Structure formats: C-alpha cells, structure tokens
Structure 1
Amino acid sequence: MANGYFGHDNDNADDIRPAFHIGQHDSTRSETLTNTQYGRVLNSGFRFVTTPITNTHFHERIVQLVSDSQQQSGSRVDPIVTPITPGDTTLFPEAYTSGFIGQVLNLEVDYANFCGVRSIIVPGPRQDSTQAGSGRGIAQYARAIQEALLIGTRVNLIIHLPMYREPGLEEKAAPLSISDETPDNLQSSKEIDIFTSWDSWHVIRTVCDYDTRLFVALRIPRVLPSKDLQMRWFSEPLQYLTYCPSTFQTNKGGHPSLGRPHQELIHTYMRLKHAPYFLLCDVGPELQDEPAAEQKIDPESTSQFPTLEDAAAATQPAKTDHKVQGHNAYLAYLRHLERQQEPYTELELNTLTNFQDWLQSPLQPLSDNLESVTYEVFEGDPVKYNQYEIAIEEALKEWSELKKPTSSPDGVVIAVAGSGRGPLVTRALQASETTGVPVKVWAVEKNPNAYVYLLRQNQMVWGGRVTVVKTDMRAWKGPVISPPDAPVAHGKVDILVSELLGSFGDNELSPECLDGIQHVLAPDHGISIPSSYTAHMSPISTPRLFADVKNRREGGDTNAFNTPWVVRLFALDFVAARVPDHGRFQLAWEFEHPLPQATMDTVALRRSGGVVGGGGGSMAGGVGANDHNARQCHLTFVCKSRGVIHGLAGYFEAVLYESQIEEDETGNRPKVELSTLPDMIDQKSKDMVSWFPIFFPLKQPLYFPGDSELEVTMWRQTNDAKVWYEWMVEAFRLVKNMVAVHAQTRYDD
C-alpha cells in the first residue's frame, strides 16, 4: 500500500476496542449515487455515504420561484412550491437507501421519509445570533427544524455544526438563497466567541423540546478549543464527528495525521456507549463510473462469453497503476487510530459501558425485600468489600492493642446489620483469622428469603460460627446471652457493621436504620463501620438524561422530575469552574455514628411525649423524633462560561474506620474510606462500582450567562413517617451598580 498506516499490530485477539464507523461525504455531490458508485465507496472501506435528496434542477427551480415572488411589487406572500418531480431528484426507494444520509428540508424530508431514509443531515445555520446581532434567524431556523421533525415521522434529523466558528470551517454547500450576504461579511468581528455555535444548537434543541430524534454532526476544527467547550459538546447527543482535509496535518511521510489533542478528543468521545460515527468530507475517492466490464473485453473473441481470466483482467486495474483503486489516505489514518484505541477494561465491558446514562430508581431496601440477583450484583464489586475487610481488621487490631473489654467471653461481638446474602459476614470472619482476634458474629436480616440463604451459608461456608437472626434491625434487642433454659437476656455489640449507604450517602435511610439499632451498641467502647459519611453535589449539563426524564413523564410517570435517579453519569458537562473556596464538587452535609447519647435521649423523649408541645416536626402531627436527621445546605458554584444545567449530580464519601491510635505527621489519623467523587475515587476506592451517582433533575433547564454564580439550596426533610429531598437552583450575575439578575427553579421530591 502507498500509505504508511497499513500494517499488523501486536494486538491480543481477545482485546475489544471502540469500533470506528466511517462514512464519506462530498459537499459538491448533486446527484444520487448509482448502484455501482455506491458499491465502490463501500468497497474502498467506507461504511456509509451521504447523498443529496434533490438535485440542482430542484434548487434552481426554488430560487427562481423566490425571485419571481419578490419581483411582485408589495407582495409578501411566500411562493407556492410544487411537489418534487422526477426531474428534481435521482433518489428513489432502493434496497440500499437505508444506508444513505440525506440533506435539506420539508418537501425533501417528506420525500426522504417515503423513500425509507432514516437519517437526514441538515446544514446548520451559517450565522449565529451574536454575529447577526439578532436571534431572529436562529429562531426561524429552529422553527423549521421543529416542523421538519413533525413531517419526517420516522427520520432522525442531524444538524451539521462547527465545534466553533473557526475561519475556513464554514459550510460549503450552496444555500437556497438569493441574498447578497456572503460569508466574508458574516464574520464581522476579528475576535472569535467559541460558544456561539453551541448557543445556536441550544436554541434549536430547546425549540424542538429536546426531541430524541434530533442530533448533532460536529465539524472538528484544525485548532481545538478549550476543554470546557470540548466537554460541552461531549455531553450533547452527537451522531457524527466530521473531518475535512483542512482538519488534518501532514506528517513526515507526507500522509494526513492528527495531533495529540485531536487523538485525545477521539479517545474521549469514543468511550461513549453510543459513540459518534465519523464522516470524512471532501476527501474522495473519485466516483466516476468505470466503463462496463463487457466493454473492456475483446469483441473479436470467438467465445460467446468471456473466459474467467478475461473477465477478471477486465475488472482489475492495470499493473502500471501505482495506487489501489478507491484507496483513501484519510480513511486509512482513521483505521490506524482505531487500532491504537485502548481496549475496554473488564470493568467497562461487564458493567460500566452497559450502565452509561441509564436511569434507575434508587433501591429502597428498608421497605422492599431485594431479589437474589440484586445482591449478586453488589457482591461483584471486590473493592468495596476489600475496604470493609481492611476496616474490620484495623478495628480488631486496635481493639486488641487498646485492651478494650469485649461484650462476650468468646471475643469481640460483631453484628452485621442488613446482612443480605452475607458478604460482610464472610469478610468479618476473614478479618478475625488475619488478625488472630477472636470474634462472635451475628447476622441480622429482615428479608425472609435472604435469611434462608444465610442459614445455608452458615452450614456450608461459615461452619456454624455465625448466629443468624431474622428481624428488622430496628426491632432487634441484641445478642442473646442467657442459657437456653433461662429467661432471655440480651447483651451488647462491640462493632456494628452495615452497608446501608446509598448513592447520596443517606438516600437509602442509613441514618434512620442505624439510629434504630444503636441501642444494642456497647455505650462506652462500641464502634460503627462506617463511622461517618458525607454527601456532595455539583450542577451538571446532561441533555440526554433530561430528554429521557421528560419522555418518562410524558409516558405516564408523573413523578419523573421529582425522583432522584441513580445513574452512571457519563455524557455530561460539569459546568462549575474550579476556583478557591467554591469547588466543582461541594459538601452538602454529614452524618456520624454512633450518635451522642444526649441526642438519643432527646429522640426517646420525643417518641414518648416527654417534650412539652411534642417538639414539632416537619409536618403537623409529627413528634419530631427524626428531626435530628433533617439537613439543609446552601452552596455557591462559579461558572465562567455560559451554559445550561439540567440537574444536580450527587456523590458521597464514607469513613469506614478511623484509627484510634496512630497519627500522621500532620496530626491526622489514618482512615479507611470509600468515595464516589470523580476527583477522589481513584485515591480512596479505585475501580469501585457498587454505587453510581445520583441525579436530581430540573423540570426546566436553567440557562445562565458567563461569569455567573449558581446558588443551590437543598433540604433533607422528614415527618417521622418518610424522608424526602427538596432542591432549588438560582442563577445570578452581577451587572452595573451591583444589581443581581437571577433566575430560579425549585423542585420537591
């Protein structure tokens, strides 16, 4: 091959990498490809090809109609466009039509819909509102796209837009316009505002109400913009990344190539579950029809039909050709990059990719009995259980070093509250064996089906070393310490272990559950694993998830926007900047266990009516027994670039165990921790997948200008019978005379 990108890579045959689907687009193409041409494009290595829906005859006819209409003095009536005729198009229903991507609007969309075309690329607006000084043109364009979506009931519309208005990256297709305006005078300012193209897209998709059939084809510039804009587009519904020859640079061998920033962008975008396709624009190959094979065969041949040798020779290029027919250097380079992509990890293949941006209702293990398969999914994460085992080991070692008393003569009493199928029980027994500290283990579980499984585990795996109890942990009175024939007497627990944490830390009611079982914990020396956990949040832009929640509401789920969803957030943009005192991720609140005895005494008094007036509560009639678990926060996030948010991303961190003996050089005690925070998970619990983030959606996207502050207020409310969240988001920007302009939205769960 003439290109240096062909060759064999030393790849493991079992490696699975992102697949590149590469198509070809010719902006000067005016006729639909013939069957032969279409086949030749595919044979040259492309997977799909674009074709115009109508031809120059149609375009000229429309321009003439507009011109004639404008010549009628005083008339403002739009010309009547007659239907498409056979002279206006060379696109007809064929077996290969579904492989075409069409271009342009209304009549064409309707006709393409009839022909079976499923994706139509529409050239984006040539001018953004900032350049035009008015948003009228963009609004009119957006309205046209909205109407086209109604006409093309079975097609996806893909708006072709530049990542930003880089000079030379303008659309080359001729517009259906007789305006005297030229691209030269469209760009009146020398300063480039890199967000204007995204502004136009935001207007278009907002007018179209986040239609799930509306996508972006993103033209990649030669000079990439800041990471902020790259990630903004990453969060959008990308269908294509389009490249023209000017995007590439030439390497030392004279072949097209892309620099490191472009390669990193491709690597990032191709990690999406629904990764964009590639569209190479104006790079060839030439598609003129070759003379028919039969015309190359010697007509003087005495045989009625050519021999196989003659037929093969007629269809092969001459030996003097220095280039394989249809070979494309740009395509070859992208195939080279495809082979250079990092293989998916086992974690990505088996878990992470499948759950990308997939909304799940949070589990409610307190009210629901989970199925075995749900427990099995949790147990597939070794990182969490390794951290728990390390925490139990550290607690047992220090218990022995500090010579703490035990609640049983048989050793340290460990209770696993909410045991499920018993993975933490197994880890507690292993920690005892590792440290040599004897333990007495109790497994408490309310799920009657999981209880049966625990009994079997005790027989088959734990050797009868565990006492299994079927009860709600809040109703458990503690370990039975009396002989079988004596009146029942209950003892205390030294170490209380639980895995009740949710995606936001407290959203699966860990505080309420652990409050209910704290009475069995030894008051002087008992410890809880975890000992504390904190909730964190960040405002995010995630158009795909917003559209998904909207569709669920329209499908009958009236609480879709009031539900905090568990989701592996991926195609998102963290809109907040990293600035001192106002981080991208901020602490909302914290819970600690065990609670101080004074707090527990107050709770008991309120439940018994011991406080005059009942002590109040979040709702009338409540005694306020759970008021100590209510929380509220008010956070400020700084946004340098303008944008839009669709909700709040929630995370948590937990301290499983903090050393009671050791201190580091700064006086801090070593901790065994868990974290789902994007900037901390690799330090504290790398590759942990037990918890995905939580997503608090907004009913309406909130747009904010550049240099804004987002004020986020959230409440954790309780009325003794239930717990819920309320959240409010406001956008502020300081203007002259220090007047604050703001917009706000508030939602309850």
Structure 2
Amino acid sequence: MAYDYSSHDSENQDEVRPAFHIGQHNSTRSETLTNLQYGQVLNSGFRFITTPITNTHFHERIVKLVNESLAQASSQQNTGSRIDPIVTSLTPEDTTLFPELYTSGYVGYASPWIDLCSPNHIVASISRQVLNLEVDYANFCGVRSIIVPGPRQDCAQVGNGQGIAQYARAIQEALLIGTRVNLIVHLPMYREPGLEEKVTQLSSSHETQDIPQASREIDIFTTWDSWHVIRTACDYDAKLFVALRVPRVLPAKELQTRWFSEPIQYLTYSPSTFQANKAGHPSLGRAHQELIHAYMRLKHAPYFLLCDAGPDIQDDHAVAQAIDTSSASEFPALGDAATQPVKDEHKIQGHNAYLAYFRHLERQQEPYTEIELNTLTNFQDWLQSPLQPLSDNLESVTYEVFEGDPVKYNQYEIAIEEALREWSELKKPTSSPDGVVIAVAGSGRGPLVTRALKASKTTGVPVKVWAVEKNPNAYVYLLRQNQTVWGGRVTVVKTDMRAWKGPVLSSSSSSSPDSAAEPPVVHGKVDILVSELLGSFGDNELSPECLDGIQHVLAPTHGISIPSSYTAHMSPISTPRLYADIRTRAEQGGGDPCNANAFDTPWVVRLFALDFVAARGVPDHPRFQQAWEFAHPLPQNIMNNITARRSGGVVGGGGGSMAGGVGANDHNARQCHLTFVCKSRGVIHGLAGYFEAVLYASQIEETAEKKGNRAMVELSTLPEMIDRKSKDMVSWFPIFFPLKQPLYFPSDSELEVTMWRQTDDAKVWYEWMVEAFRWVSETERIKVGGSDLCSSRKVACLM
C-alpha cells in the first residue's frame, strides 16, 4: 500500500516555504519520450525530465567507428602519423529528439558511454566529437540544459591527471559550441562505490585496467579536485554547473560545506541513497534532511533529480487504450488527457514513493521569516559597492534599510541606558544644567535620537540632545521629526560633525547690547557622543576619522563615546560564485569604478554560499582572527600630535606619511599578519571581514561580590559570536576582499594573510595579500603559492 505522507502534514497556507523542483532521470532510456509519455511523467508529479540526445543506432555507429579506427591504427606501420577518425553529422536515424512544443522542457543527457578522459587518442577524439555533436544539436532543438556525465576517475589518482585535463578541455570547447545551453557536470559527492554510471564506456584493449575499488582507500576530496580543474580550465564560466550525486553515507562536514559553496544545479538521488523507515517506505536520515534544508535556504536553490526511481512509462498504444476517447475532440490536449478516466486494466502508475517522500520533506521545510522574505534572501551573495558616507549624501531608502533592524537600535538604547544609570550612580558632572548632554553624530533620519530620548525616560535621567547631520535632505527630515515626534526637545544642527564646534551655551556677557558687532558664541561640551558610523569591517566607513574629528567637543575628563571600541576580524573563504561574478564585472568594466577595479574593491555582501577553509579548534590559530582595534576617545597626547602634524609644528618639517601627506591620520593606519591552518586541501577566493563593537563597558570597578557582572553592551557580526552578542542583527553584511586569482593550497597548509589599512590624510584604503606554506619537516616550511598584492586605493574611502 502506498504511504500517504501528506496525511501527516499540517500546513499554514499563509506561510511561505522553499519550493522543491523534482525531475526524473532514467539511465537506461535510449529514446526521447513521446508527448503522451512526457505527459505521464509530468502528471505523476515530476516537474522536468531528462532525455538522451542520441539513440542506440548512433551508439552502434560510433562503436563500429572506434573498432575500425583502432584496427587501422594497430596495422599502421608509419609511427610519424596517427589516425584521426571523423564522426559524421547526425541523421534522423541517430536521434529521436526534435524541436517540438515540449522540447524546451527537457534536460538533455549526454551519452554516458563516451570517454573524454581516455589515454587513447582515438577514443578521446571520437568522444569529444560526439559530445560536440550532441551539444550543438540539442542547442539547435531548444534544450536549455545538458547534463554531461563526469569523469569516472580523478586527477588525484596516479596517472590520471592527463585524463581530467582532457575532460576539462572538452567541456570548455562544448561551452563555446552550445551558445545558449548550460552544461552541468554530473559528479559524485565523493567516490563512494555504486555512484558511477553503469553504462560501459568506449574503451581500448590497450588501456590499463582500473584498480578494484575495494582495494583503494577513498580520498573524499578527489572528486572536488577534478571539478576544480574543470571549472578553472573553463574560467569559471557562468554556464557551467554541477549535478551532485548524493551518497547513502554523507562525508565529513568539511566536504559538505565545500560543495555547498559551489554552483550546484541538481542534487541527484538514486534508490540506493534512501533507507527504509519502520513501515518499509523510503526515507532519508537526519543528516540528509539537514543537507537538504541547508541547500533550500539558498536564493537559487538546486533542483532535485531522482535517478532510476520510476515511474514506469507505458508506450503510446497502452496510453491510448487507457484514455477514454469518447470526447468530442479526436485527440485531447495534454491537460485533458491527464483528467480522462482510465480503464482499470490499463491504469497509469501515478504514485511514486520517492517523489512522495520529497513532497513530504518540502512541507517540512522551515517557513521563511519575514526578514528572509523581504531582505535577506534577496541580498544573498549580491555584491554591493561600499558606501562613501563622507563624500555622498545617502537617500532616504538607504536610511530606511538601516532602520529596519531593531536589534542594533535595541542594543544602542541599552548602552545609553547603562551609561545614564552609571552617570547618576557615579555622580558625574554634566556639561549642561539641564542634564547629561548627548550628541548623536551622523543622525541620519534620527533613530538613535529617538532611542536616546527613550533611554532618558526609562532611567529618569534628564538629557539635552543634539542631532548633528551633514546631509541637507536628512536635515529637513530631522527638523520635521523634532516637530512631530520629539516635541522640540532636540537641537538639530546641519554640519559635518568634524566642523561642529559643540553645543551653543550663550552669547558673551561682556558684549554691549548696543554694539553693532554680533556677540561671540560660547560653545559647551558633550557628555555622551553616540554614533553609528561602523561599517562591515568596523572601520571601513571612516568611523575612526569621523570620531577623531568630533572628539574636541567631548568633555575631556568624563565624556564617553558609544561605541567605545571596535575590532576587525577576518577569515579566508572559498566562494566560487562571487569570484565568477567579480570576474564578469571586471571584464565588463564600464563607468562604475568598482567594476573597473572589481578585484581591488572590498565588496559588501551577505555571504551565504561559502566555505570557511580554515580549521576549527587549532590552538592560537582560530578560524576567525582579529586584525586590529580602534578605541574612543583617543588619549590627549595623540590628539596633540594630530594637531601638531596638521599645523606643521613637528620639529624637522612636520612629519610625513608613508602614503603621502603630513601624516595627520597616520595614527589610524593599521597592519596585521595572521596565520590560518587548513587541514583539508582547497582553494580560496578572498577574505571575509567582520567586526565586533563594545558600545558601552561599565565604568564602575568590579568588586569581589560583583566579579564578572560589569555591564558590557556589544554588537558582533562574527558567525561564531553574533547569536551570543546581538542575535538576529542584520544591519551589517560582511565585507569581502577578493583575490585576483584563486589560490589553491594542499592539505595541512598554513595561509598567511597580510593586510594594511593605509591613509594619506585625504582617503583611506586597504591592501592585502595571501601566501600558502606547507611544512616539509619539523624545521622547514616551503611556500606553495601566493596571491598578488591587492589594493583598493583607486576606490578609496574619501575623507
């Protein structure tokens, strides 16, 4: 009896879940399905179907050509020449695939018997020609995707490097021929026995026999190695994808995450992948379900392909017998045929246990959250040019996106509350008789102003709030907010924060009221300086430079900054999709300087399909490492040095920065050298950057009774810390520092990352490079690869 999974599922119609697109593949199918047969499969619940491009007649013709060519080559006496057989064009006898109404709904499947890796020139040449003919013809017929069976041995196996190179070269040529098709290489996740194609390949009696699989230790990364060779030879072509055969036993997480970062088009399952549940019906274990759940959160989630799992296909005569032809139409439409009553003795097999189980899993997917639907999914792996907050005036919609994250502003409000409570508890003096003076620097549309007023109400500590904003358009909005929301309790100032002289206290009392001259203005100080100038890397939107510029208004003895400090962190990653996107942008160029300098631009991106290549749990070399730190306010001696350099008051000519200028901003330059340990071999495409910030740290000294209870309000975008410090915060996406060329490294390597934060007093930029080393003895380490020096100077953040 068929098991009805749907009877056990409850679904809220208002919830949106990932949709499964499930296709059917039959490895023994040698003919394209007729329209009626195609309808049978679709009506049984599948969304798409694979089709062979050529048939057995063509196969027999090619086998004959191979045998004749090999015989001719063996009898040839002249060793200075070689046989070069030609595969002639397809004929109507060679294929049953023709341009028809439903052809574009098929996924082509290239002949699995070709051997592109063969060391025999004749077999390899004929195989390459067959693939080109099939790709060219399917492209003509309107097929939009073609699955090409992958190599059956990997380049990591001894003596097979040439074979993978040949295969990669053939795929590269086929991509040029199939101008409108995607090529999808069908590969096992790793070389688990039973995952390969069953069809016998074209072969030569002179070829070396394979080593029996049982006698060979499985290296789970060899298949990925082969894929890396193929896609590298094809220059990360946007039309090249992977169909991944999922094994019954999933490999280590390191390999799973590696494949997760790759452009997977299909996850393919055969009956051997499944296990029987207690009722004897096919099911997948928890690890497989988690794998599927992870992939289905991708913006472009892979499709599923059930291989050799039914349904049984009847021939046209049986279908015609089954359909009630009493309809007025002589030949019903496909949709009508599906609804026709069928005769019991010719009932079409509609139920498929494997398909039913996948539909059950589809209903079990976690619904998308509102923020996933509206924001996060759309921004997945989408490159955004970094903001230029000092040189550009942001639009209202940009501010609106920032304000859509309540977690960040909740943390800021808590930080201001803690600061006000301790201000009162410590009986610190205020810079105004009306209360604690709070200045929000870079107010935007005023969300932090609102939180400051709420914190004052919550704590009962009176405040005097100033909103400083340079954007003239946002200034208008702030004035309106003060009229309609804040009740006139806020003083709004339109100026660059670095030029602001501080809160206006009063006019000089010594000036005569009859004097024609305007009396001078007396400026006071700020007690709490609040800002949200942090970028994806903490300092990449010039928070240090901005806060240095406004520090002169901060009360020198008791003034505090929120945030008080922030640290930048990074980790090397593999992200083929982003590399391919950046490569395309660089080739297109155009008027956008970020595209023209795509590989030298630190991109803001919600990293999702990626692999962190550094190992976890290595002492002194964690997966995420701190690059540098900034703290505010700066000590007075540093502020004095800044003033002296700007005024040329440094003995000997006023200093001089390494990057030019007088060096007034050199105190904000940084450099780091970090070492990451990689246990498994792989490739990196760049560096992922994150930050952590301490908004407020308690100023009350710890006592023995309250040890470890000091207030600490923090933000974090680090994947390993965000849930603990600022769960569900989405205000900042990571930053991505790309490499100009992917850097491959062997197992047990060390990746050394060097990065500089550079400045010339007018702008700030980053420079970075990566080197790969491997230990060959206890005392000797050799360099096995390295990147170019990348620099974002041409797209620097302007001060």
Q: TM-score, normalised by structure 2?
A: 0.90
Give 1:34's aligned residue: 34
Query: Quick check: 123-132 or 331-340, which moved more?
Result: 123-132
Q: Relative to structure 1, is the Cα distance of residues 524 and 563 closer, same or farther in structure 2, using a 3 angstrom cutoff?
A: same
State the distance in 2 between where 1:447 and 1:699 align.
Answer: 36
User: The residue matched to 1:131 in structure 2 has which SS?
Assistant: coil
Deviation digits for residues 705-746 of structure 1, max 9, x if unmatched? 000000000000111111110001000001147242331112
Identity of matched residues, %: 81
Task: Report the equivalent of 1:13.
Answer: 13
- Tell me the equivalent position of 1:149: 175
Q: How does 1:80-99 map to 2 (within 5 A)?
A: 80-99=86-105
**What does the per-residue CA deviation read over 1:317-351, in whole Å, with 9 as the maximum and x for residues that have no partner?**
55589x86231111111111111111111121111
Conservation of the 8 A alpha-carbon contact between 2:21 and 2:304: yes
CA shift, 1:94, in A, is: 0.9
Instruction: Give, as a single letter, the amino acid of the residue that structure 2 aligns with 1:523.
Output: P
1:626 to 658, 665, 670: 665
**One-letter amino acid matched to 1:497:** V
Alpha-carbon offset, residue 123 of structure 1: 0.1
For 1:655-686, what per-residue CA distance to the aligned partner results, in whole angstroms no more than 9, with x for missing partners? 00001126486557321000000010011111
Following the alignment from structure 1 to structure 2, what is the Cα–Cα distance between the partners of residues 56 and 171? 17
2:615 match: 577
Closer/same/farther in 2, CA of residues 658 and 185 from structure 1, 3 Å limit:
same
C-alpha separation in 1, matches of 2:538 and 2:702 = 27
Distance in 1 between the 2:638 and 2:673 partners? 25
Point out where structure 1 has 5 or more consecutive residues left out of the alignment: none
Alpha-carbon distance in structure 2 between the residues aligned to 1:26 and 1:221: 18
RMSD over aligned Cα atoms: 2.3
Partner Cα separation in structure 2 for residue 669 and residue 616 of structure 1:
42
Q: Any conservation in 2 of the 1:317–1:325 contact (CA below 8 Å)? A: no
Q: Could you tell me whether the CA contact under 8 Å between 1:645 and 1:701 is conserved in 2? A: yes
Amino acid at match of 2:790: Y
C-alpha contact (below 8 Å) 1:540/1:574 kept by paired residues: yes
Asked if 2 retains the 8 angstrom alpha-carbon contact of 1:63 and 1:177, the reply is: no
CA contact (8 A) 2:470 2:497 kept: yes
Q: Indicate conservation of the 8 Å contact 1:296/1:314, yes or no.
A: no
Aligned to 1:55: 55
Aligned residues of 2:614 and 2:623 also touching (Cα < 8 A): yes
User: CA–CA distance in 2 between the matches of 1:180 and 1:315?
Assistant: 57
Q: Residue 718 of structure 1 aligns to which amino acid in structure 2? A: T
CA drift at 1:569? 0.1
Cα distance, 1:478 vs. partner? Answer: 0.5
Alignment partner of 2:313: what SS? coil
Q: How does 1:538-557 map to 2 (within 5 A)?
A: 538-556=571-589, 557=595
User: Which of the numbers 691, 708, 721 marks the counterpart of 2:762?
Assistant: 721
Distance 1:441 1:297, change over 3 A: closer
Q: Distance in 2 between matches of 1:84 and 1:123?
A: 21
Q: What is the aligned residue count?
A: 743
Report SS of the residue matched to 1:505. Answer: coil
CA contact (8 A) 1:534 1:589 kept: yes
CA displacement at 1:293 relative to structure 2: 6.5
CA deviations over 1:207-246 (Å, ceiling 9, x no partner):
0000010000000000000000000000000000000010
The residue type equivalent to 2:40 in the other structure is R
Aligned with 1:141: secondary structure?
Answer: helix
* Residues 274-322 of structure 1 deviation map (CA, whole Å, 9 limit, x = unaligned): 00000000011111215366657999x9x99999xxx99996455589x
**Paired residues of 2:324 and 2:341 also in contact (CA < 8 A):** no
Which of the residues 580, 585, 600 maps onto 1:562?
600
Helix, strand or coil for the counterpart of 1:262?
helix
Unaligned runs of 5+ in 2: 111-130, 514-518, 590-594, 793-799
- CA distance in 1: counterparts of 2:362 and 2:321, whole angstroms: 40
Q: Equivalent residues in 2 for 1:170-185 (5 A)?
A: 170-178=196-204, 185=211
Secondary structure of 1:121 counterpart: strand
* Aligned match of 2:640: 601
**Aligned pairs (5 A) from 1:109-128:** 109-128=135-154
* Cα distance, 1:559–1:43 mapped onto 2, change above 3 Å: same
Cα gap change, 1:347/1:682 in structure 2, threshold over 3 Å: closer, same or farther? same
Partner of 1:357: 381
Deviation at 1:59, TM superposition (A): 1.6
CA–CA distance in 1 between the matches of 2:2 and 2:319? 26
| SS state at 2:7 partner | coil
Deviation (angstroms), 1:117? 0.6
- Matched residues in 2 for 1:435 and 1:318: separation? 79
Residue in structure 2 matching 1:215, options 235, 241, 248: 241
Which of 367, 371, 374 is the aligned partner of 1:343?
A: 367
1:588 is aligned to 2:627: yes
Q: Does 1:440 align with 2:481?
A: no
Kept in 1: contact 2:187–2:242 (CA 8 A): yes
1:128, 1:200 within 8 Å by CA — same for their partners in 2?
yes
Q: Write the distance in 1 (CA, Å) between the matches of 2:490 and 2:790.
A: 46
Q: Paired residue for 2:736?
A: 695
Give SS of 1:148's match. helix
Distance in 2 (CA, whole Å) between partners of 1:338 and 1:501 is 40
Gap change, CA 1:314 and 1:155, over 3 Å in 2: closer
Deviations 1:70-100 (A, max 9, x none): 2221552320111111111000001111111
> What is the Cα deviation at residue 205 of structure 1?
0.2
SS at match of 1:369: coil
Partner of 2:3 in structure 1?
Answer: 3
Q: Is this contact kept in 1: 2:269–2:305, CA < 8 A? A: yes
Q: Matched residues in 1 for 2:324 and 2:410: separation?
A: 77
Distance 1:117 1:266, change over 3 A: same
1:507 aligned to 540, 544, 552, which one? 540
CA distance in 2, matches of 1:127, 1:620: 52
In structure 1, what residue type is equivalent to 2:84?
Answer: D
Query: Does the aligned pair in 2 maintain the 1:63–1:178 contact within 8 Å?
Result: no
2:783 aligned partner, one-letter code: V
Residue 83 of structure 2 is aligned to residue 77 of structure 1: yes
1:650 aligns with 2:689: yes
Distance 1:200 1:10, change over 3 A: same
Residues 149, 603 of structure 1: CA spacing in aligned structure 2 closer, same or farther, 3 A cutoff?
same
- Three-state SS of the structure 2 residue aligned to 1:185 is coil
AA partner of residue 99 (structure 2) = P
Aligned residues of 1:22 and 1:280 also touching (Cα < 8 A) = yes
- 2:508 corresponds to 1:495: no
Alpha-carbon contact 1:530-1:655 (below 8 Å) kept:
yes
What CA distance in whole angstroms lies between the structure 1 residues aligned with 2:308 and 2:576?
Answer: 31
How far apart in 2 are the matches of 1:226 and 1:671?
38
Q: Deviations over 1:618-644 (max 9, x none)?
A: 446511110100000000000000000
Query: What is the letter of the counterpart of residue 520 of structure 1?
Result: V
Match of 2:444 among 420, 438, 443: 420
